[in-house]
Structure 1
Amino acid sequence: MAEQKTPMQRATPGLLIAGSLAGVGAIMVGLLSVAPKVDDGSGTLAAADQPTTVQIENAGAFVLPATVGPGGKGATLTPARPDAPAPLAAAPTVPPIPKAKTKAAKAKARPSRIKIPKIKVNAPIGAVTVDIKGNLGTPPLTRPNQTGWYRFSPVPGELGPAVINGHVSTRKGPAVFDRLRELAKGDQIYVYRSDGKVTRFTVSGIEQVSKSSFPTSRVYGNTKDSQLRLITCGGVFNKEAHSYTDNIVVYATLSKKKG
């Protein structure tokens, strides 16, 4: 089997999280610098345009934060700046699980189930990949409780950011990641592997981002430890496009392993 490429080598400039009725929607990748400009009030003002006290107090209200937020009960999820790094680990980290070396061992080292106690997720994990247009696949809508591991990202527990996506809803109702937005810094995520190993990840941050300015480097970029990304849809549902406007992205870091 050929040496597995890094996530960023696989996450080509055409990579998108595929849109569907309620699945993980399109992600624009590459060119992260092309982001909506924000008026920070630093421009020159004519005398007649001098700001009022209220305008001064709110001058930075729409400036994106420099770090991914922790989430939490009642928190409004917002995106971090496009150049913001992934959030720092919320718990002590442990060394990554070494990559399997033989073909047989690699075939066994696959994620099989994900459990998230806080939001009552206990779901199987299938594999998804990209199509010829660069769209990242999603689990079948006929299996709303199934999640999808991007098979060209690391196996959860190994070095780098493993990516798992899932639908937020289908025509029949809520799906596996319906409550993903409720996660917050410090929450636990368990990923079980077909080789018998069990990994525990601790959430370090969560954000809601527009699909037109998805933070590709932050999500897919190489890391110095083992991390996990969970992705689903969020924002407003566009009935004409059969897609949501945003994505919810959860960041987590490996904090325990066994097996």
Structure 2
Amino acid sequence: MKTSTNKVLPGLLIAGSLGGVGAIMVGLLSLAPKVDDGSGPGPQPQGSTVQIQNAGAYDLPPTVGPGGKNVPLMPARLDAPPPAAAAPIVPPIPPAKTKTKRATPTRIKIPAIKVNAPIGPVTVDIQGALDTPPLGKPNRTGWYRFSPVPGELGPAIINGHVSTKRGSAVFYRLHELAKGNQIYVYRSDGKVTRFTVSGVEQASKNSFPTARVYGNTSNAQLRLITCGGVYNKTTHSFSDNIIVYATLSKKKG
């Protein structure tokens, strides 16, 4: 099967990460980049802390929840699939025929939480953790450049800081998103993609849902990732990740 993810597979393997393609075994998804926050000890997003005493599959919901402001976020079972689309799905954008013409995402807008931010590429560090945008640019988001271009087949990955030492950052309110909210991603080829949120969860970094986030999909999807939970002043790290799942529902250009 020819997909944009297939075309970047050599890059994924070189980077020590894997986005999931075709009939690749789920076990190989353990090679997907680990998610690190890189955040400073800024303010924590209000109402997003979830203490997870046991992340075993039998103690968690079988589906990702719809999210919403002031709604406690919980992780789903690790074997749960991505949440079902909340709006009619449109076909993905065909990738460029040559790699040199590959589009890149340039800007993301999320009206519900007043996000209007530039997007830059990120990759993985030497430990295999997904890089984040520079701390000196708290309003910038990062597109994992070995994931699909937003709008093309597969799960495109965009992350951003929840806070820095200066205060709140671009995804500070990400935990407020709910099923049905819209996300717009602008591309360098002039195309504008609209994704509709299908679910939101908060998962412990010790039990990150790798297959659900990076696994192969039959349509164009988007994953937004930031930090949440408890901030550890010693390790300068949050305990959890906030993950937003969305599906392509409109495209133009």
TM-score, normalization by structure 2: 0.83
- Residues 1:234 and 2:228 aligned together: yes
Amino acid at match of 2:234: E
Deviation track 1:162-220 (CA, whole Å, cap 9, x = no partner) reads 00000000000000000000000000000000000000000000000000000000000
Output aligned runs, 1:1-259, within 5 Å. Answer: 3-5=7-9, 7-8=19-20, 13=31, 15-22=33-40, 36-37=55-56, 63-106=59-102, 109-259=103-253
State the Cα distance separating 1:17 from its structure 2 match.
1.3
| Aligned mates of 1:101, 1:8 — CA distance in 2 | 21
Equivalent residues of 2:56, 2:77 under 8 A apart? no
Equivalent residue, structure 2, for 1:28: none
Structure 1 residue ranges without an equivalent (≥5): 24-34, 41-62
The CA RMSD measured in Å over matched residues stands at: 1.9
Distance 2:249 2:206 in 1: 32
| Aligned mates of 1:14, 1:256 — CA distance in 2 | 28
Offset of 1:21 from its aligned partner? 2.9
Q: Work out the CA distance in 2 between the residues paired with 1:200 and 1:98.
A: 16
Contiguous gaps of at least 5 residues in structure 2: 1-5, 10-17, 22-27, 42-53
Indicate how the Cα distance of structure 1 residues 71 and 95 shifts in structure 2: closer, same or farther if over 3 A, else same.
Answer: same
How big is the shift at 1:127? 0.3
Q: Which amino acid aligns with 2:252?
A: K
User: What stretches of structure 1 move > 3 A for 4+ residues in a row?
Assistant: 9-12, 35-38
Range with bigger deviation, 198-207 or 132-141: 132-141
Q: Report the secondary structure of 2:101's partner residue.
A: helix
* Cα pair 1:14 1:133 within 8 Å, conserved: no
The percentage of aligned residue pairs carrying the same residue is 68
1:169 maps to a residue whose letter is S
CA contact (8 A) 1:22 1:244 kept: no
Cα pair distance change 1:22/1:204, threshold 3 Å: farther
Q: Is contact 1:90-1:185 (8 Å) kept? A: yes
Task: Tell whether the 8 Å contact from 2:32 to 2:210 is kept in structure 1 after alignment.
Answer: no
Larger Rg: 1
- Cα distance in 2 for residues equivalent to 1:92 and 1:148: 27
Deviation of 1:103 after TM superposition, in Å, equals: 3.5
Q: How many residues align?
A: 222
Aligned residue for 2:206, secondary structure, equals helix
**127-136 or 164-173: which moved more?**
127-136
Output the TM-score relative to the length of structure 1: 0.81
Q: Distance in 2 between matches of 1:17 and 1:194?
A: 26
CA drift at 1:104: 3.4
CA distance in 1: counterparts of 2:55 and 2:100, whole angstroms: 47
* Stretch of structure 1 that moved more, 156-165 or 97-106: 97-106
TM-aligned CA distance change 1:184 to 1:36, over 3 Å:
closer
Distance 1:128 1:12, change over 3 A: farther
Using a 3 Å threshold, how does the CA distance of structure 1 residues 37 and 84 change in structure 2: closer, same or farther?
closer
- Is 2:20–2:214's contact at 8 Å kept on the other side of the alignment? yes
